[in-house]
Amino acid sequence: MKKLSSKRYLLWAGILVILIVLPLLFNTAFSHHIMTMMCIWALLGMGWNFIGGYAGQISNGHAIYYAFGAYANAMLLQWFNLSPWIAMWVGCLLSAGIAFLIGKGLLRFRGHVFAIATMAVAECVRLIFINTKAVGGATGVYIFSAKLNPILYMQFSSTRTYVYLYMAIVVCVLLFVRWLNKTKFCYYLRAINGNETAAESAGINAANYKLLAYMLSAVIVSLAGSLYMQFMLYTDPSMILTSNISMMIVLVTVMGGVGTVYGPIIGAIVLTYISEYTRVYLSHYNGLDMVIYGVLVILIVLFIPDGLISIPGRIKRHRERRHTAGKEAPAK
């Protein structure tokens, strides 16, 4: 047992060293951009995983909370000169409230009906943002200012600072998810996902727990939206409030492993790497980058339905079967 614990500590120490060294080894703006986006997509995946992975309610409208987080930072800065260190939590509270209102009505639906309903709500919100001049309308909002304190207003000149800060936030959220994964909250969500009727007959209030999962999911996704805004310093509805964003949030989790702690992080790393590099190096071939990206995603989803996180377990089981078959084979 002590040997196992020491190996685990060494593993985490090794990961920590890698996280510190990577931004130094790959010291270009593009590399830092990819690392930062990996962190943001990891947060998006971890957030969606609560409602889509643990509770089994497929939401296709989480771009709403991504946008609320981003716009909360931007508008609170423009209207009240509020620091993003505070504004991001205001955005989280706003997203939790919106999620309560939306979830209260939509979580009565299940399966495809819920998925389509969330997509429809997201489209309505997108149209509202496009036609509301108070939040920039279709032209969006820009928040950069050289006069602002870079630390107080999270507008760093070095992209490496964003990488380290966002990595630290991802680690904090990951530790929270790991802790929550072992509580009755997630056990109840898994029971609801498995058989909602049976869970309710066992005394679990399915409606309340699904609503809590939806609100928690919205809060984490909103946090990712706030961080995205501070990194890009500009956004508009076509950047963060499209159905493509909602689908990407789902794909991050599905590719990594639905209902797992580390799956969304693995999915975020792989998806971001594929999407960014195909966009840069193949975009001049008139959409070939999107074709390759789409084919890779489809192949992984079809042939590894449990996500990339299941690959080590599959290899181990395959080796065990071969080992067992070799022992049982009759001697010639």
For the segment 142-146, the average pLDDT, to the nearest whole number, is 89
pLDDT, tens digit, for every residue of 163-195? 999 999 999 999 999 999 999 999 999 999 999
pLDDT, tens digit, for every residue of 213-265? 999 999 999 999 999 999 999 999 999 999 889 988 998 999 899 999 999 99
Token code pair at residue 76: 């609170």
User: Identity (one letter) of the amino acid at 135?
Assistant: V
Q: What is the dihedral of CA 256, 104, 115, 218, to 10 degrees?
A: -30
Identify whether the C-beta of residue 300 lies closer than 8 Å to the C-beta of residue 220. no
pLDDT reported for residue 221: 97
What string of DSSP letters covers 279-301?
HHHHGGGTSHHHHHHHHHHHHHH
Contacts of 66 (CB under 8 A, 6+ apart): 44, 221, 222, 224, 225, 228, 240, 241, 245, 249
Structure pTM?
0.93
Residue 310 vs residue 318, higher pLDDT: 310
